Structure 1
């Protein structure tokens, strides 16, 4: 019997997209000391050595070395890059470093690099990485995430021209146009669209680099069709002037290189600038052809952790130093099991994940109602203003908060140094979610543990979830029953206080609604 194409694909576990079948194995690149990294600008080397995180590790990680070779090294940005490596492997610096190096020789200031991320918190974190490198070579970095007003954004992103005094007397005087005040922009899709649609002087016509970080999420959620809009803004500017752009040949680093022109750089008097280079990254990169096609990639190159022949097929990769445990408990006593677990772990600094914003708020409020706990709990979720979240994260990093209870807002890409414990208070619904949550620990080669609280009826489902991530080993973690019982006395009191708090909140909301309604009636 002749096997169908679908059966062959299932048996061999090959991706549907041909170029994904022959990836570059990131693990073949050894960690590289900064002194040995070829072509690294001395100014960037000094900036890296003055950063405590990089200084401590003394060398670049394999993914950073692999991307460097495909961009600054022999690869020389000939192809668009898709980077699929585990959480905590160093993906952010892998694109920040080559982009800053490439733009360090720019002559005029234009918006040349755009990094798009799904959340404000992650965008702020990425900007911090750019901030300790870009100024070393004279580049400026902007942030557009919606945490400030549009007016503040515009004053930071756009440089208004100075008008000459002869404007009222010279009939031939041409008013100069606003220009970009930044070379690199980190943005969330919504605020990016606001600037594309409404900000005078904001243009992507000079864009050379587009980074789509956490690609699978950004492609899954349309965010006002930001991707087609960005690509159209870049591609359409020069389509009429250069209809045969694919055949343009320009010198680069002393050699001829075929490039595609996507615009005219005003600063270079009509010369076409290099093609738009795209870099897409995720720990759980999609292999869906229809989604990948949206990116319009140019001869794409996949860098990933290549699966060994003797390993069973798997789609996701967990950090090598991660240990997974499950804690089976009764649903009604989950808060007590959580406290008993934290006590058995010596109240070590950890992140606790819940299934929703409401669950995060309720659990944090309940735990803070337990009397006699010498530990501080704080919540972190979308319901809070950005300023509050940033303040909470700083306190957690500094050790002033021991346990951070949060929704999945912090599960993607966020780097919180020193977290050795992650706890899933609610079992994640998908393998992808588990991978990202667990990835908040065991980062950069460090050891970490992930505990998941489960009801009896969730154990089988959780086992299947882990198998998809290639994890066949998840032993039970026994929480002492006497420890659970020791919290029962204060549990009832805490529950009563939680109910009172909820009722009080409902009354306040009703009163607030009545006041608002009355004010509207009086205004009418």
Structure 2
């Protein structure tokens, strides 16, 4: 319904004349203007020798002539390098101030994506003396607080006023990568946690973050930072960077003025997605400042340049056979298989692992699993110990796993946005990749219409030899029988656990009443 809704809304004037990122070219690090040499070395240590077009375009609008004067809305295909596009200029700009306070906040919808983005920042920030924190609920909130907040050193034998101690609490990080829920936990309850010095707010995977309320995190953050343009910046004296050239200032109460009569710097917002919404009511939530849209080409929906898309038409009752036959053809190439739900993911992964010796390692990756299990699985997949991940859409947004050669849509995605985010797990960073979609006959017409929105309606058919399908029937029948037993066993175990918790709950209630 979301896509139908977006068709009916008017396009905002500032979205009609975007900067076309595809007009930019890769730029060797040695030619990137004003790039700090320490950051150049850090990037080289990451195996990066040049910046991609979207990174060059954003650099120009931040460190170059644009100089962060406008909020940026970046609509660029998955795998095009959006994370480094905002991380690099933010780190470079913050490095010009030798002050320890929270000045950049990056908000993402999931823990896994936040961990990935944090790793990118952590690869470059220490090179210029900056530290990066993480607030995602992966560890206890007490452990996170100890990492994020620096407490004053206390001398033995001296009595301290609690209010004085609270005043002396300081941020241990310059940059924070967070999920909305845990961010709100710190805002509401962590002493010493403040956004009053925030200069940069990045909203990554904007569509999803705007679609779901997440404890009203966005209005809260904007409310806590909206006074920045008029408030005193205690450290503004040391802000100006040679990158931006000279700026005439008038110092009043220790605040630098000069950005069109307002305090400088203002809170800069950068919003990003491979499928950025055009809905004015959603974008209005961000309170954007003279926004600038940066996109790739003229089409709203963009697939990776080197992606090959294929369709496999099969009957629903033998669809698992087509999947197994396809996986056998692909061999040990890294592959992600997408289903429509966490329940389907678990059922399909269980079935595949009951098929007998497929000579490939297959693991489940879904929201039903504990974070530690998902992290372990993802690590094994990255290292090549697992060749196939069967996943729900938990993997579709922004996740970057090097070397994923194939994506398989076991269930047809309902929207073009979903297809783009799924397919975007391959063909990343200029590499080639393939996306296969298993379809019933009645789905072909709808699939063609959906991909037409990305100018990709003519998807070739991929044939799996009928002999491969026939040879799997016996193993399939056996696997289905084992799957039924496994499902019944799991259901029984869940009922026992539920019954146990119910008895414990009743027991505690009875004890409480007696007390």
Correspondence 1:57-96 to 2 at 5 A: 58-96=49-87
Q: Does the alignment pair 1:383 with 2:368?
A: yes
Q: Does the alignment pair 1:17 with 2:8?
A: no
Per-residue CA shift, 1:426-485, capped at 9, x if unaligned? 000011000000011111111111000001111111111100121122011111111011
Counterpart CA distance in 1 for 2:297 and 2:355 is: 48
Aligned to 1:418: 403
TM-score in terms of structure 2 length: 0.90
TM superposition shift of 1:95: 0.4
Q: 1:287 aligns with which of 253, 275, 278?
A: 278
Counterpart CA distance in 1 for 2:43 and 2:362 is: 34
- The answer to whether the Cα contact below 8 Å between 1:324 and 1:473 also exists between their aligned partners in 2 is no
Aligned to 1:393: 378
Counterpart CA distance in 1 for 2:9 and 2:104 is: 33
TM superposition shift of 1:171: 13
* Structure 1 residue matching 2:247: 3-state secondary structure: strand
TM superposition shift of 1:264: 7.8
Q: Does the alignment pair 1:306 with 2:291?
A: no
Counterpart CA distance in 1 for 2:160 and 2:9 is: 70
- The answer to whether the Cα contact below 8 Å between 1:238 and 1:264 also exists between their aligned partners in 2 is no
Aligned to 1:189: 180
* Structure 2 residue matching 1:132: 3-state secondary structure: helix
Counterpart CA distance in 2 for 1:38 and 1:391 is: 40
Do the aligned partners of residues 110 and 480 (structure 1) sit closer, same or farther apart at CA in structure 2, a change above 3 Å counting? same
Correspondence 1:165-176 to 2 at 5 A: 167-168=158-159, 176=167
Q: 1:32 aligns with which of 23, 27, 31?
A: 27
Per-residue CA shift, 1:168-187, capped at 9, x if unaligned? 39999887431111000000
Q: Does the alignment pair 1:48 with 2:39?
A: no
TM superposition shift of 1:410: 0.7
* Structure 2 residue matching 1:133: 3-state secondary structure: helix
- The answer to whether the Cα contact below 8 Å between 2:228 and 2:267 also exists between their aligned partners in 1 is no
Aligned to 1:476: 461
- The answer to whether the Cα contact below 8 Å between 1:206 and 1:264 also exists between their aligned partners in 2 is no
Do the aligned partners of residues 174 and 477 (structure 1) sit closer, same or farther apart at CA in structure 2, a change above 3 Å counting? closer
- The answer to whether the Cα contact below 8 Å between 1:380 and 1:405 also exists between their aligned partners in 2 is yes
Counterpart CA distance in 1 for 2:207 and 2:313 is: 32
Correspondence 1:403-414 to 2 at 5 A: 403-414=388-399
Query: Which is worse superposed, 340-349 or 19-28?
Result: 340-349
TM superposition shift of 1:356: 0.3
Q: 2:483 aligns with which of 486, 495, 498?
A: 498
Structure 1, unaligned runs of 5 or more? 1-8, 243-249, 266-270, 308-313
Q: 1:148 aligns with which of 110, 126, 139?
A: 139
Q: Does the alignment pair 1:115 with 2:110?
A: no
Aligned to 1:509: 494
Counterpart CA distance in 1 for 2:218 and 2:400 is: 26
- The answer to whether the Cα contact below 8 Å between 2:448 and 2:458 also exists between their aligned partners in 1 is no
- The answer to whether the Cα contact below 8 Å between 1:324 and 1:451 also exists between their aligned partners in 2 is yes
* Structure 2 residue matching 1:131: 3-state secondary structure: helix
Structure 2, unaligned runs of 5 or more? 1-5, 234-238, 257-261, 511-515
Per-residue CA shift, 1:324-380, capped at 9, x if unaligned? 110000101111010111122234221000000000000000010011221111010
TM superposition shift of 1:237: 6.2
TM superposition shift of 1:516: 2.2
Q: 2:210 aligns with which of 213, 219, 224?
A: 219
* Structure 2 residue matching 1:256: 3-state secondary structure: coil
Do the aligned partners of residues 255 and 378 (structure 1) sit closer, same or farther apart at CA in structure 2, a change above 3 Å counting? same
What root-mean-square deviation, in Å, do the aligned CA atoms of Structure 1 and Structure 2 show? 2.6
Counterpart CA distance in 1 for 2:207 and 2:223 is: 21
* Structure 2 residue matching 1:121: 3-state secondary structure: helix
Counterpart CA distance in 2 for 1:175 and 1:360 is: 48
TM superposition shift of 1:15: 6.1
Per-residue CA shift, 1:248-289, capped at 9, x if unaligned? xx9764433799x9x989xxxxx9551001111111001111
Q: 2:448 aligns with which of 463, 481, 487?
A: 463
TM-score in terms of structure 1 length: 0.89
Q: 2:322 aligns with which of 324, 330, 337?
A: 337
Counterpart CA distance in 2 for 1:133 and 1:201 is: 26
* Number of residue equivalences: 490
